[in-house]
Amino acid sequence: MKGYDVYKRVLNLLGYMYNDDSITSDNVLYKRALYSINQILLDLGQNEIADMNCEINLSKAQLDALVCGLAMLLSLIGGDGERNRLFTNLYNAKRSAALNKVDAVVDAMPNVDGGAI
Q: What is the average per-residue pLDDT within 46-59?
A: 94
pLDDT in tens, 56-68: 999 999 999 999 9
This prediction has a pTM of 0.80
The residue extents of the domains of the chain are 3-98
State what percent of residues in the chain have pLDDT above 70. Answer: 79
- 18, 68 Cβ separation under 8 angstroms: no
Which residue did the predictor score with more confidence, 97 or 101?
A: 97
- Distances in Å between the alpha carbon of 49 and those of 28, 63, 79, 113? 18, 14, 26, 35
